Structure 1
Amino acid sequence: MTKKPMTATGRSTAACMVFAAFIQSAAMARAGIPEKTILIHGLESVQGITNTWGGDCTDRRMESSNRENFVSEGKASVRLTGRSSPKSQSHYNALKIPLDGVDLDCRTVMFDCWTTTPEDTQAVYLRLYTKDGKTAGSWSNWGSPFIQSPRITVRLDYGMGRGGFSWEEKNIDAENARSIAAAEIIIGTRAPEAMFDIYVDNLRASEARRTRFPEIAAAKKLYLDTPLVRAGKPEAMIIAPAGQEYLALAARLQTRIRELSGTELPLAAADTTTADQMQSTTAIQLGNVCNNRAMLPLYALLYTPVDDAWPPADGFLAHTVHDPWGTGRNALVLGGSTPGGVGKAVDALLATLKPGRDVVLPKLAIAELGQREMKSIESRRQSLNDEEIQRQIENARRDYARGAHRSVAGRTGSLGHEYARSGNDMLARLYRELALAWYESYQAKPDIYGGPWGMDMDFHLEEILCAWDLIEESPALSDADRLKVTRILYEFITTDVVRKASGALSSRHVRHNHMTFPALGLFFAGNYFKKGYNCLESDYWLEIAHACFKLQA
């Protein structure tokens, strides 16, 4: 992506675009890939459930409730209530649910719960036990979890804190969670002589097992082909902005592909195209983000730069976007800031197509970006050889050693965007070598201001990660290269960035740049690792980002 000068207004607009994409991407993920779960216990009655803890509470009751407002599955939920003693201390009440050796290993555990006493139900715990009484899972939340809403859905993963819940490693003495005999839900309060209660329903687990990223042994799958037609059947849709000029271009593209393949691709209006439609096919996007709202996720997530100011004049950028939704389907942008530019993008694409029942694109990056930028792209292509890469690595090592500000982001952050518009595979080799040199510096634990990763590197995760997301599909990188670089990024995120932003989960204060920048990076990181690896950590990173920006949305 071109680094254009950005005014204060431009920065504000970009920030709004990114946040809009955050909301839209979350909604698209929920709509596009429904989560499959396994019911562990329906809590239809109190039969077999025991009331534990609560020794210092009075008015203790555990009962079945069929009040519709407190039921999410079946016809009833279980209510637990009690009154705390007059003492100024922590007071507890709990229910223990018997289970039949349920295998919860590497699965997300979930339950729905409500309270009628949000001020006084100040804590919720979940504990999982094996049949010999050992603790296989333990989480706690003393952050008044119902204060924002009387209903919450608790989602917990082994070894991780989420949603205000902390993982209690000190309590774990079971080897794994492969045979769980009981689940205990505990509530707590520090208010004396207070009624506190909870309704619990729909204890369940994810059907799919999920792992932590360090346990993953292979780089994510790449989808290098972008099909438009396969075996005479449409594999793409054409999404056009309103306006006769754009509709005519869409019709011309549709007609020519029909002439070449005998297959007609469907046309769709930008304003009415749904997330499901874009995720399940090759979405051919015409225009730019300012006249094609269906392009918003691609633009705000930095997969394409086309808007009403760039490319300049009647320039264009025709390029594929690798698996932006995490569904294995690529997108194709035929972009320009004017109808004339978009027309050139359509022509450039059509010039690459050959007749046949299969119309499948390889990685595509064709551009006309003005004389100055095209000259720069060609100069870079000719000058970036093995010798130049080695020279840049030596300079980078000196920068790393002295803790130069933005030493990594300044060198790697623009490479992915440059690759997206040029297709120069030497840029991927340069990124790889810079990443390896950065990690080598980190491992030496240099005594530099800002820590061994470099000064303020947490501010620049977004740039570093997005560049990698764009450049990773280059054939210059082997699968081993990709996994090695991704592991470096993971270690950077977990050892440096997360701790800078995780305070957003509990803080209600106005956000500041030392929280918002790393949180923005975690949004992009969570999006990348969730789509490519579906690892447990990705949800946690997205949760931090959401907590950071939701407060001031």
Structure 2
Amino acid sequence: MLLYDGESLDAVKGAVRASSPDTEIALNTDPQFVSQGESSLHISSRSDPQAAGNTYISVYINTPPADMTSQALLLDVWSSTPAASRAFYVRGYDEDGKCTLSWASWSGVLQREKTTIRLVPELSRSGIAWEADLIQNSDRTAVVRWEIYTGTSEKGEPFDIYVDNMRIEITSERPFSAVTEPRPLVPLTPLVRGGEPLGCLAVPAGEGWQKVAAELQAGLKAATGATVPIKAGDEVAAAELAAGGCILLGNVANNRACLYPYSHQMCFSDELYPGPGGYELRVIHDPWGSGHNLLFVGASDLAGGQAAVQALLARVQPGADLTIEPLCEIELSDNISSRFSGPLTARLDEAWFEQQKKTAESGLESGVHTGLFSQAAQLGEGYVQSARSPYAQAFVWVIKRAYEHYLTKPSTYGGPWGMDSDFTCFRVLATWTVVENDPSLTDQERLEVAKILHRWVTEAVAPKAASAMGNERVRYNHQTFPALGCLFAGEYFQKYYQAYEGEHWLELADACFEMQQKSFKAHEDCNGYQWLTLGHTVRYCLSRPDLTLFENGNARRIADYAMLTMNNIGTQVPYGD
């Protein structure tokens, strides 16, 4: 629906005016600043050389009533003076003059080239912030007046904005507050239907792994009549994997297709784990939010790969259809078992659960660092490795207990969620993505935990990550901890709930790490804080995925730096405090 076409000034009225004779509201006919029709709206001025503070100009545009309940506002904008015209505000009003919508930015979104701005109520994105404090009426069903600003902090400089093709369109984006049901789960993994494969077998390069893949292909054909196509994992696009029916073979070190689930703690096989002759069979539930699963046949070496294939084929029943139930079967080699078998073998009885509760209560009483979120992360990590229900149940209990404590408004140093609770966000959200697939959890529990985590990220994580927006300085750990949390929180709420807060949180993560990838140097030189920042950057690169750090040579420089500052027994200088 078109609201304003830039062809007339009849519906336009000046609002805030700069005290300059150069201030002008006019129709522009220069085609470089027109996106539709013959003209666009142009407002311009010059700031006073002696101005105290910022200088603004704005216009009101009256339009037919617009219902913005499920709509996005779009407008094409330019500036002939982008260096000076840093401010961009849009506000919407009802017929009583009450503000119902408000966005603001000083991040320089106006450029000489056309920029199409897309604004959704309650959403901050692309450096344009939603101004909740200015809203006087939450009823957005009849917005009749729009106010558009630009402004400058420069003295004695011209500044301007061109506006054209102002319109609204239906949007499926929604705030998480509109969510009433938990994300849909995908428990089953169909691989063959009616004797036809539903996906491919993504495998490592090398003759040995090709033979293992051929053995799996032959076994599936013998059972179902379907010939699952074998493809090089490094060449299979994420979109094909997300479409369903795919099987991953090998490990992250020899099969690029494993990178996304591996970096998101959905599978763990690499050159170390599960070790020589060991294997990891598991269903990876809906990793991209597409409604489809992956089947992971993981191993560190060929012997493990062969063992994994035999273990999988032993589960396959003859028939033209093949669907895999939820699955987590892990066999560790002896040398790896002594280091990593804890989550698989720990005794998770009632006494264990009671001890988890006691640990939580003790932590709340003492104001433990990061609140209860480190404990939740540890429980989540136990679950993602083992798929054992008590870990999932304890995770839910701890998150709910953290929220109950938060509601009492405790005077805990560092805030009611716990001091530095944002440090754990990337671990908590990554593991919760897997934990909530456990069949012992109810839909009510899953939705309740999702709401708690959303509130926690909104209040205690995203605001701390925002300090990296708009600056070009190398980062430090108090920026990269919350920014990495925003990556995993943003992905979770965007892909599983289509909640538009997720997009904003991803922008915060990108703003932090895209800058840091340009440097091998973090803000601090000390051992711990330096490597936290750089380690977070590597984790971001692998998880996003964005491999710039590896492609521009900085990953190699970081590795060289680590070796240069390490002694011959692998010890570095003290932590830094």
TM over 0.5: yes
Shifted more, 384-393 versus 401-410: the winner is: 401-410
- Give 2:249's aligned amino acid: L
1:34-433 to structure 2, matched below 5 A, reads 40-41=2-3, 43=5, 45-46=7-8, 50=12, 52-53=14-15, 54=17, 56-57=19-20, 58=22, 60=24, 62-65=26-29, 67=31, 78=40, 80-86=42-48, 88=51, 90-131=54-95, 133-146=97-110, 152-169=115-132, 171-205=134-168, 207-371=170-334, 377=341, 381=345, 383-406=347-370, 408-433=372-397
Secondary structure of the residue that 2:516 maps to in structure 1?
A: coil
Q: Measured at CA, do residues 182 and 371 of structure 1 come closer, stay the same or move farther in structure 2, by a change above 3 Å? A: same
Q: Does the 8 Å contact 2:384/2:431 carry over to 1?
A: no
Alignment of 1:466-545 (within 5 A): 466-545=430-509
Letter of the 1:478 partner, please give it.
Answer: T
Amino acid across the alignment from 1:280: A
Q: Is the 8 A contact 2:373 2:424 kept in 1?
A: yes
Contact 1:81 1:195 in 2 (8 A): no
Whichever residue aligns with residue 337 of structure 1, its letter is S
Partners of 2:373 and 2:399 within 8 A in 1:
no
Residue type of the alignment partner of 2:182: A
The answer on whether the counterparts of 2:282 and 2:297 sit within 8 Å (CA) in structure 1 is yes
C-alpha contact 2:123 2:175 (8 A) present in aligned 1: no
Distance in 1 of aligned mates of 2:512 and 2:317: 49
Q: How well do the aligned residues superpose, as a CA RMSD in angstroms?
A: 2.9
Distance 1:284 1:395 in 2: 40
Q: Report 1 or 2 for greater relative contact order, CA contacts < 8 Å, sequence distance ≥ 6.
A: 1
Q: 1:363 is matched by which residue type in structure 2?
A: P
Q: Is the 8 A contact 1:240 1:268 kept in 2?
A: yes
Distance across 1 between alignment mates of 2:47 and 2:386: 70
- Equivalent residue for 1:434? 398
Cα pair distance change 1:207/1:193, threshold 3 Å: same
Note if contact 2:364-2:371 (Cα within 8 Å) is conserved in structure 1. yes
Comparing 320-329 and 261-270, the one that deviates more: 261-270
> CA distance change for structure 1 residues 49 and 428 in 2, over 3 Å: closer, same or farther?
same
CA distance, structure 1, for counterparts of residue 245 and residue 169 of structure 2: 29
Structure 2: distance between partners of 1:257 and 1:77: 64
Structure 2 CA distance for partners of 1:380 and 1:332, relative to 1, 3 Å:
closer
In structure 1, give the amino acid aligned to 2:78: W
SS of equivalent to 1:476: coil
Tell me the secondary structure at the aligned position of residue 305 of structure 1.
Answer: coil
Instruction: Provide the C-alpha distance between the structure 1 equivalents of 2:228 and 2:62, rounded to a whole number of angstroms.
Output: 55
Cα distance in structure 2, aligned partners of 1:262 and 1:349: 17
Q: Give the Cα–Cα distance (whole angstroms) in 2 for the partners of residues 106 and 481 of structure 1.
A: 28
Tell me: CA distance 1:299–1:43, structure 2 relative to 1, closer, same or farther (3 Å): farther
For the residues of structure 2 that align with 1:222 and 1:156, how far apart are their CA atoms? 31
Shift of 1:418: 3.1
Tell me the secondary structure at the aligned position of residue 551 of structure 1.
helix
**8 Å contact from structure 1 (residues 502, 544) kept in 2:** yes
Q: Distance in 2 between matches of 1:345 and 1:151?
A: 55
- How far is 1:360 from its partner? 0.8
Secondary structure class of the residue paired with 2:316: coil
* 3-state SS of 1:236 partner: coil
State the distance in 2 between where 1:80 and 1:152 align: 15
User: Cα gap change, 1:174/1:388 in structure 2, threshold over 3 Å: closer, same or farther?
Assistant: closer
Give the secondary-structure state (helix, strand or coil) at the position aligned to 2:489. Answer: helix
Which residue in 2 is equivalent to 1:6? none
Q: Which runs of 5+ in 2 are unaligned?
A: 518-577
Give structure 1 stretches of 5+ with no counterpart.
1-38
Deviations 1:503-538 (A, max 9, x none): 222444332111110111111011111112112321
Counterpart of 1:10 in structure 2 is: none
CA contact (8 A) 1:46 1:64 kept: no
Secondary structure of the residue aligned to 2:216 is helix
CA contact (8 A) 1:79 1:197 kept: no
Contact 2:202 2:231 in 1 (8 A): yes
Following the alignment from structure 1 to structure 2, what is the Cα–Cα distance between the partners of residues 276 and 472?
24
Q: Tell which deviates more after alignment, 360-369 or 343-352.
A: 343-352
SS at match of 1:140: strand
Q: Which amino acid aligns with 2:499?
A: C
- Measured in 2, the distance between the counterparts of 1:66 and 1:306 equals 60
| 1:438-483 CA distance string (max 9 Å, x none) | 3333333444333332232211111122221121111111111112
Q: CA deviation at 1:97?
A: 4.6
Is 2:371–2:402's contact at 8 Å kept on the other side of the alignment?
A: no
Q: Is the 8 A contact 1:96 1:184 kept in 2?
A: yes
Which residue in the other structure is 1:28 paired with? none
SS at match of 1:388: helix
Q: CA deviation at 1:84?
A: 1.6
State how many pairs are aligned.
Answer: 512
Counterpart code for 1:264: T
Displacement, 1:289?
1.7
Question: In 2 relative to 1, CA 184–410 (structure 1 residues): closer, same or farther, beyond 3 Å?
Answer: closer
- 1:380: Cα distance to partner? 5.6
Deviation at 1:109, TM superposition (A): 3.0
Corresponding letter in the other structure for 1:530 = Q
* AA in 2 matched with 1:306: S
Deviation at 1:491, TM superposition (A): 2.3
What's 1:36 paired with?
Answer: none
Using a 3 Å threshold, how does the CA distance of structure 1 residues 492 and 338 change in structure 2: closer, same or farther? Answer: same
Using the aligned pairs only, state the percent identity.
Answer: 32
- Aligned residue in 2 for 1:8: none
The residue aligned with 2:428 is 464
What is the match of residue 556 of structure 2?
A: none
- Aligned partners of 2:147, 2:369: CA distance in 1, in Å? 49
**C-alpha separation between the residues in 1 aligned to 2:472 and 2:458?**
23
Of residues 326-335 and 58-67 in structure 1, the stretch that sits farther from structure 2 once superposed is: 58-67
Conserved? CA contact 1:397–1:438, under 8 Å: no
The answer to whether the 8 Å contact 1:40/1:102 transfers is no
Equivalence for 2:565: none
Change (3 A) 1:202 1:244: farther
Q: Assess if the C-alpha contact under 8 Å between 1:323 and 1:331 holds in 2.
A: yes
Give 1:128 shift.
2.0
Partner letter of residue 324 of structure 1? P
Q: Which moved more, 1:386-395 or 1:522-531?
A: 386-395
Q: Distance in 2 between matches of 1:339 and 1:114?
A: 59
After superposition, what is the alpha-carbon deviation per residue over 1:288-340, rounded to whole angstroms, capped at 9, x for unaligned? 22221222222222222222232212222111111111111112221122222
Q: Distance in 2 between matches of 1:265 and 1:380?
A: 32
